Amino acid sequence: MRQSTEQLTASSWIRRGQIMLVSYAAMTYTTLFVRAMWGHMYPDPGDNVTLSAVVALVLAACPQAYKKGDMTAKVFAGAALALLMAETYGTQFYDITDIDDPTRRTYINRLEEDFREPMEFLVSEAARGERFRYAMSPDLSGTNVGARWGIEQTGGFLASINRDFFEMYVQLNQIEFYKLTNTKYFIGRGPHDEAQIERFTARNGIKVFENPDTLPRAWMTYSNEFVSDARFESSGLQRVASCETEGQVRQTAWTIQSTTLEVETACPGYVVLADPYFEGWQATVDGAKVPVLRYRRGLRAVYAPTGRSTVEFRYRPQSVTRGAWMTGFGFLLCCGAGLWLRFRAPRLA
**CATH at residue 297:** 2.60.40
| Number of domains forming the structure of the chain | 4
> In this predicted model, what pLDDT tens digit does every residue of 103-157 receive, in sequence order?
667 777 888 889 999 999 999 999 998 899 999 998 888 778 888 898 999 987 7
* Predicted local confidence at residue 207, as pLDDT: 96
Q: What is the domain range of residue 247?
A: 218-316
Work out the pLDDT band at 51, boundaries 50, 70, 90. confident
Give the mean pLDDT of 203-232. Answer: 94
Same domain, 140 and 201: yes
pTM: 0.67
Question: How do 281-285 and 307-315 pair as beta strands?
Answer: antiparallel
CA dist 152 and 149 (Å) reads 9
- The pLDDT mean for the chain works out to 83
Q: Do 205 and 111 belong to one domain? A: yes
Are 255 and 171 members of one domain?
Answer: no
- Residue 25 burial (10 A CB sphere; 0-12, 13-18, 19+): buried
Q: Which of 173, 192, 210 is the last residue of a domain?
A: 210
Of 30-34, 277-281, 309-313, the range with the lowest mean pLDDT is 30-34
Measured between alpha carbons, how far is 266 from 255 in angstroms, rounded to an integer? 29
DSSP 8-state secondary structure symbol assigned to residue 230: T
Q: 241 and 262 in one domain?
A: yes
Same domain, 109 and 127: yes
- Answer yes or no: do 127 and 60 share one domain: no
Same domain, 72 and 54: yes
Q: Are residues 152 and 111 in the same domain?
A: yes
- Reported as a pLDDT band with limits 50, 70 and 90, residue 349 is very low
The residue out of 44, 72, 95 marking a domain boundary is: 95
Q: Do 228 and 178 sit in the same domain of this protein?
A: no
CB 173 within 8 A of CB 123: no
Sheet holding 207-210, edge to edge: 152-154, 133-136, 183-188, 207-210, 197-201
**Domain-ending residue, one of 54, 79, 95:** 95
Query: According to the model, what pLDDT value does residue 41 have?
Result: 46
Helices (H), 39-159: 43-67, 73-92, 102-126
Reported as half-sphere exposure (CB side, CA atoms, 13 A), residue 50 has a value of 11
Domain match, 110 and 179 both: yes
Confidence of residue 96 (pLDDT cuts 50, 70, 90): very low
The helix (H) or strand (E) run that includes residue 278 is none
147 shares a domain with 72: no
Q: Are residues 122 and 79 in the same domain?
A: no
